Chains A and B, each alone.
Chain A
Amino acid sequence: AAGVIQSPRHLIKEKRETATLKCYPIPRHDTVYWYQQGPGQDPQFLISFYEKMQSDKGSIPDRFSAQQFSDYHSELNMSSLELGDSALYFCASSKQGYQETQYFGPGTRLLVL
């Protein structure tokens, strides 16, 4: 079965640089979520989108922005990167509805030097 696709899988950036992470949901899934998982930490919710509109917002820094496109893929844009942004960034997708399961992608491992 098709899964959530994330690119790139690994990314190395310098402080103050920008990064763009991409997420392609499972076919026919219309809701996308972004989570950040620091080393040894639990995943923290950043933001979600349904039908290209922001649906829920968590602890996403103002330096980050995200959007969902007409083909339902999503991009997380990160600017003025800080050392503390080094983490695993997961994207998840689900079908619309409050009883839908979120399926996670393999993640993008971001290292900020």
Chain B
Amino acid sequence: AQSVSQHNHHVILSEAASLELGCNYSYGGTVNLFWYVQYPGQHLQLLLKYFSGDPLVKGIKGFEAEFIKSKFSFNLRKPSVQWSDTAEYFCAVNARYNQAGTALIFGKGTTLSVSS
């Protein structure tokens, strides 16, 4: 079975600080990797995704993530956070079976609080 581990439950930063959120997954096969963001009271929005190719992927709002296969990791980074980045961040994976409808497995989430 797949599982996702997010190391930081709650991260508090000042504006302009750099951000790195850790994500490790457990699965023996090939996976697709995602980071979603959930602003207070809102639905999940896709930040970025990795399917194959360049392990460094860039997403919306200046976020990027690096897939390190040997470490089963997909850490999210942003060089300079803004107050508006305050939200819950979820790492998610799904196994790359050759079928539609494969479930996303989410980590427990990291709450990011940015102070101005």
Interface residues of A (CB under 8 A from B): 30-31, 33, 35, 41-45, 48-51, 55-56, 58, 90, 92, 94, 96-107
Q: Is the pair A90, B43 in contact by a Cβ cutoff of 8 Å? A: yes
**B116 sits at the interface (CB 8 A):** no
**B51 sits at the interface (CB 8 A):** yes
Chain B residues positioned under 8 Å from A56 (CB to CB): 99, 101-103
Q: How many angstroms between the C-alpha atoms of A99 and B108 in the bound complex?
A: 23
Number of A-B contacts (CB under 8 A): 71
The chain B residue with its CB closest to the CB of A32 is B101
Chain A residues positioned under 8 Å from B44 (CB to CB): 43, 90, 92, 104
Q: How many angstroms between the C-alpha atoms of A50 and B99 in the bound complex?
A: 9
CB<8 Å pairs between A and B, sample of 11: A33-B101, A33-B103, A42-B90, A45-B105, A48-B103, A55-B102, A56-B102, A90-B43, A98-B99, A104-B44, A106-B43
